[in-house]
Structure 1
Amino acid sequence: MKLGLSIGYSKARMDLPVALVQRAEQLGYDSVWSAEAYGSDAVTPLAFLAAVTKRIRLGTGIMQLAARTPANAAMCAGTVDALAGGGRFIAGLGVSGPQIVEGWYGQPWGRPYYRLKDTVAIMRKIFRREEPVTHDGKEISLPYHGEGAAGVGKPLKSILHMNPAIPIFLATGNESTVKLTAEIADGWLPMGFVPGCMDEYRPWLEEGFRRAGTGKSLENFEIQATAHVEVAGDVKAALARLKPEVALYVGGMGHKDKNFHKDQMIRRGFGDAADRIQELYLAHRKEEATAAVPDEWVDMKSLVGPPARIRQRFRAWADSGATGLTVRSAQPEAIEIMAEAARHA
């Protein structure tokens, strides 16, 4: 199984873990993944890392669609890929949620399924430079001809000769968008993926491959799962340290009636806990919401404890059907232990 390293997005200050990324590259990690929410962006840190690494792939996990047009997303991907020497950038895309899309970016939530589909189609046309780009989509059109248009938009072709095969991964989780991912993308950043869940996802993926009609299958499709990793002597205490983030995402990262993180928890059999966490969090009882997060839910999504426990539990991830696992950890020891576990799985 290929390993990735998550650097996430910044907190109050930008603190890029350059030494950790370089050590991961030395240990054979395949990729490093950035993120964005409503602070630091996902692309700029990868441009910096391109200059201080040699071979590790540089993935956005994810670029939010509302943050940039498809053309700008393609420009960012093509630029960093060229700076990195070509063949290293992965354009990971996702829709975020309506609170951020409309509240932070000032964009309409619209129809995310078609926005994903239009964005990928436009980006691929830009990468390939076969002709000036036009697109007549259900959510996005080039040239623009909607309200306020001057009517003089001109189809253009990228000045930069980009890598025509920059891979595009989509972060999705429900049936329709997972099928779309398998149909149009090169890889998948699955929401809520845990060992044992491929039986649920496999029919959706196979339907998407069938729609693609290009010989796509699980044999040539990347699935990059994610897990928190923490080396610790006290498993229960380690799980407790991860609960505030769960409470934030399940309780407050999204509208009460549209929260993808809560939906994932419900689908995994923790519906009562998810409802209680959200109720408490939205009532500003954050400590109680954190306490309501079940140990079992956190443990299912993470690898924590002594090294022997991490190595033993990693086997389930290696056999899960995912082709890669992104490690979320700032611990140098955890990065080392995961490299060892992957070599011997």
Structure 2
Amino acid sequence: MKLGLSIGYSGAHLDLPVALVQRAEALGYDSVWTAEAYGTDAVTPLAYLAAVTKRIRLGTGIMQLAARTPANAAMCAATVDALAGGGRFIAGLGVSGPQIVEGWYGEPWGRPYYRLKDYTEIMRKIFRREAPVVHEGREISLPYTGEGALGVGKPLKSILHMNPDIPIWLGTGNEATVKLTGEIADGWLALGFVPGSLPEYLPWLEEGFRRAEKATGRPKTRADFTIQASVHVEVTEDVSAGLAKLKPEVALYVGGMGHRDKNFHKDMMIRRGFGEAADRIQDLYLAGRKEEAIAAVPDEWVDWKSLVGPPARIRERWRPWAESGADAITVRSRQPEAIEVMAQAAGLNGPGE
């Protein structure tokens, strides 16, 4: 089992935990992951980390599609990969949500399934440099010929001779997009994944593998694909206090990160059997009663998705994650002791493990 470290995005002030990332690399962590919402971006911190690390892979978890065109995403990925010495960058992509896509980026929500498909296919064409890029998609086409076009767009091929095999992983969670992930991606940033959930997702992934083989004539199997799940880790002697510390984020995402009728995080909580709590959290949050929304988050929900408590409890509760069928687990924590405890639990012994 490989481990990753998520450093997410910064709050009000930029806080890049360089020493924590370097320690994770020394312990044998496989990857470090950044994120973006509507503050710090996901790519720039990885360029900095490329200069102060040697081996750890650098992943975006995720680049929001609306934040940049597929050509720009490919350029960013190729540039950081080259700065890092090649073979270290993972282009993790996702659609975000309609409030951010339309409210922050000023882009239409459109059809996310086809946007993911077009975006990924264009990036691969750019990486491979086999010909000037032409793409006729349902959501994105190159050259652009839509409203406002002059009609003089020219197919181009990247000046930079980049790594043609930069991996593209997708952050997805519903049936249609997980199938698409199995079909077109190299890996899956598994939204909503918990121990015991693989039987729900595996048939979707396998359908995607079948589609890929049909489209390319080349077999694609589970062995050709990476599942990367994630888990919050909080080392504390007070389990209740540790769970409470993680509840504000749950309330934010379930209650306010998305429209009332289109919120993936709420939908996932409902699918996992916590529908009544999900409805109450959202109602309270949208009514401006945020503290009550936080208090409405069940301990059981947080504990299921997280590893919280003294080191012995975390090691014990790690076993189901280690046996979950995921290939790697991203540790979501900025606690130095959490990074150490998880390395011990996973049996890491330094670089190369």
User: Which category of TM-score, normalised to the shorter sequence, fits these structures?
Assistant: over 0.9
| Pairing of 1:52-63 with structure 2 (within 5 A) | 52-63=52-63
How far residue 220 of structure 1 moved from its aligned partner, in angstroms, is 2.0
State the partner residue of 2:21. Answer: 21
Say yes or no: does 1:270 pair with 2:270.
Answer: no
CA distance in 1, matches of 2:219, 2:303: 37
**CA-to-partner distance for each residue in 1:136-192, whole Å, 9 max, x for gaps?**
000000000000000000000000001000000000000000000000000001111
Letter of the 2:240 counterpart: K
Paired residue secondary structure (2:338): helix
Q: Indicate whether 1:171 and 2:175 are aligned.
A: no
Alpha-carbon RMSD: 0.6
SS at match of 1:12: coil
User: Which amino acid is the alignment partner of residue 25 of structure 2?
Assistant: E
Q: Which runs of no fewer than 5 residues in structure 2 stay unpaired?
A: 349-353
Partner of 2:234: 230
Q: How far 1:216 sits from its partner (Å)? A: 1.7
Aligned: 1:257 with 2:247: no
Moved over 2 A (4+): none
- Matching residue of 2:46: 46
Aligned equivalents of 1:15, 1:290: Cα separation in 2: 25
Partner residue in 1 for 2:351: none
Rounded to whole Å, the distance in 2 between the matches of 1:132 and 1:108 is 27
SS in 2 for 1:154: coil
Structure 2 Cα separation of the partners of residues 89 and 216 of structure 1 = 22
- Counterpart for residue 92 of structure 1: 92
Q: Deviations 1:228-282 (Å, cap 9, x if unpaired)? A: 0011001111001100100000000000000011011011010000000000000
Specify the alignment match of 1:306 in structure 2: 310
Whole-Å Cα distance in 1 between the matches of residues 150 and 44 of structure 2?
A: 32
1:45 counterpart letter in structure 2 = P
Match of 2:327 among 323, 326, 337: 323
In the alignment, what sits opposite 2:250? 246
Structure 1 segment 123-272 matched on structure 2, within 5 A: 123-213=123-213, 214-272=218-276
Deviations 1:91-126 (A, max 9, x none): 000000000000000000000000000000000000
* CA deviation string 1:178-207 (max 9, x = no partner): 000000000001111100000100110110
CA distance in 1, matches of 2:212, 2:321: 28
How far, CA to CA, are the matches of 2:130 and 2:209 in structure 1?
25
Q: CA deviation at 1:215?
A: 2.0
Per-residue deviation, residues 206-231 of structure 1 (Å, max 9, x unmatched): 10011110322222211111100011
SS of the residue 1:177 aligns to:
helix
Distance 2:219 2:234 in 1: 39
Q: In the alignment, is residue 79 of structure 1 matched against residue 79 of structure 2?
A: yes
Instruction: Give the letter for the 1:132 counterpart.
Output: P
TM-score by length of 2: 0.97
2:318 aligned with 1:335: no
Q: Structure 2: how far apart are the matches of 1:132 and 1:237?
A: 56
What amino acid maps onto 1:12 in structure 2?
A: A
Work out the CA distance in 2 between the residues paired with 1:303 and 1:219: 28
% identity of equivalent residues = 82
Distance of 1:210 and 1:321 partners within structure 2: 20
Distance (whole Å) between structure 1 residues aligned to residue 137 and residue 223 of structure 2: 30
Aligned-pair CA distance for 1:48 = 0.2
Q: CA deviation at 1:293?
A: 0.3
In structure 2, what is the Cα distance between the partners aligned to 1:130 and 1:221?
24
C-alpha offsets along residues 19-50 of structure 1, whole Å, 9 cap, x if unaligned? 00000000000000000000000000000000
Q: Deviations over 1:293-344 (max 9, x none)?
A: 0001000110010101101111101110110110011111110110011118
Q: Deviation digits for residues 71-94 of structure 1, max 9, x if unmatched? A: 000000000000000000000000
CA distance in 1 between partners of 2:32 and 2:161 (Å): 25
The residue identity in structure 2 corresponding to 1:185 is: A
In the alignment, structure 1 segments of 5+ residues that lack a partner are none
Number of equivalenced pairs: 344
Aligned-partner Cα distance in 2 for 1:252–1:281? 6
**Distance in 2 of aligned mates of 1:217 and 1:291:** 43
* 2:347 partner SS: helix
SS at match of 1:183: helix
Within 2, Cα distance between the matches of 1:52 and 1:92? 21
Counterpart code for 1:263: D
